[in-house]
A = this chain, B = another copy of it.
Amino acid sequence: MPKITRIDHIAILVDDLDAPLSFWRDALGMEVTQVKDIPAEAAQIAFIPSGGSEIELVRPTTSDSGLAKYLEKRGPGMHHICLEVDDLSGMLAQLKSKGIQLINETPKLSADGKKYAFIHPKSANGVMVELYELPK
CB within 8 Å of B: which residues of A? 1-7, 10, 12, 14, 19-20, 22-23, 26-30, 50-53, 55, 57, 75-78, 81, 83-84, 91, 94-95, 98, 100, 121, 123-127
Contacts and interface: CB of A to CB of B under 8 A. Distances in A.
Q: Which of A3, A28, A76, A77 has the most CB of B within 10 A?
A: A28
Interface residue SS majority, chain A: mixed
A14 B125 CA distance: 7
Given A7-B51, A53-B53, A127 B26 contact: no
Contact of A95 (B28, B98, B125, B127): B28
A97 B22 CA distance: 13
Contacts of A124: 23
12 contacts: A6-B52, A7-B50, A7-B53, A10-B10, A12-B125, A26-B98, A27-B123, A52-B52, A75-B126, A76-B127, A77-B125, A78-B81
A51 B52 contact: yes
A41 to B, nearest CB: 18
Contacts of A91: 28
